[in-house]
Amino acid sequence: MHITVLKKETIDFLEIKKNGVYFDCTFGGGGHSREMLERCDEITLFCIDRDMSVYPNFEKLKADFPKANLKFINEKFGNLKTIIQNLQPIKIDGIAFDFGVSSMQIDSPDRGFSFQKDGNLSMEMGLCKISAHEFINSIDEESLANIIYKYGDERKSRIIAKAIVKARQNEEIKTTVQLANIVKAAARRYNDTIHPATRTFQAIRIYINDELLEIENAINAVYFAAHEGLHVSCISFHSLEDLIIKDFIKSHDKQNLEKDDFDKNYSNFVQKEQKICTNLPFFVKKLHNGVIAPSKDEISQNIRSRSAKLRAFSFTKNENFID
């Protein structure tokens, strides 16, 4: 069962208003879209998802909110810039992102995201170039080890990669449980409480779906759509996801840019400050301090929300920008 994470907080920051234009870039179960529409149903809302299996959720939403102007776009959110370009002229009031895999995908054995139930080794979120089955049976050992380490933060990545390559020489790896058992036997016991295959599955999923590149492309597209007052909410579940959003905010925050240059070289501060103030047409304005995490009550009701982090920001016009 899919439960929308940080639903209220995410939409609070978007400040939904009548006749506004909004984007739910990770539609999924439609929880964030529904929250927007419950606050004001006289809006235009673009629901984006690479996974066409969620379309029935969109149809239900459309039936429930007949006043709203709702559009479904079956596309990767990493192509957000192209999507926006195709909709021009358009002024967007709010954009929501909820990165990572959805509970609906995890809970469907045929999607191959989880080893809790046996299923075909797929892990495709939609519009993918390769499946986990093709990937795991063809990639070389060194590359596999590097991917498992980089995207899964797996300390035993080389041992696991070696075991996978050895196992596939005897038998093609086709199912989730088959792969999980190979990883478990190679990794053996851990000191932590998660299953030994969790990090490896995460790494493979992130890699074949280009998840981090998708986020980088999407957040850069947000700046393409920037204007005074555009509000953006981003939920991440993985440290690498959050780092992309954090770095984007940091690199476009006027106060932070000025502070960094002042700290690095006092004598050149004025010159650098002038450059900063003419380079960017808009600055990012953080809408809260730090990150927003789920409450204890939310975690108790939805254990999968425990690693969620919300960052929200808006844009302000740079009065000193030189075009």
Indicate the burial class of 235 (C-beta count within 10 angstroms; 0-12, 13-18, 19 or more): buried
Nearest to 197 by CA among 236, 154, 237: 154
Contact criterion met (CB below 8 Å) for 288 and 312: yes
Cα separation, 77 vs 81, in Å, equals: 9
Show the DSSP H helices in the chain as ranges: 7-12, 31-39, 55-64, 80-86, 103-106, 132-136, 141-152, 157-170, 176-187, 198-208, 211-224, 239-252, 254-264, 269-279, 296-301
Structure-block tokens of residue 27:
């539609």
The reply to whether 202 sits in an annotated binding site is no
Cα separation, 77 vs 75, in Å, equals: 6
Cross-sheet strand order for the sheet of 282-286 = 69-74, 44-49, 21-24, 94-98, 231-236, 309-317, 282-286
The reply to whether 105 sits in an annotated binding site is yes
The reply to whether 77 sits in an annotated binding site is yes
The reply to whether 23 sits in an annotated binding site is no
The reply to whether 297 sits in an annotated binding site is no
Cα separation, 178 vs 121, in Å, equals: 9
Binding residues, by number, are 30-32, 49, 77, 98, 105
Residue positions forming the annotated binding site for S-adenosyl-L-methionine: 30-32, 49, 77, 98, 105
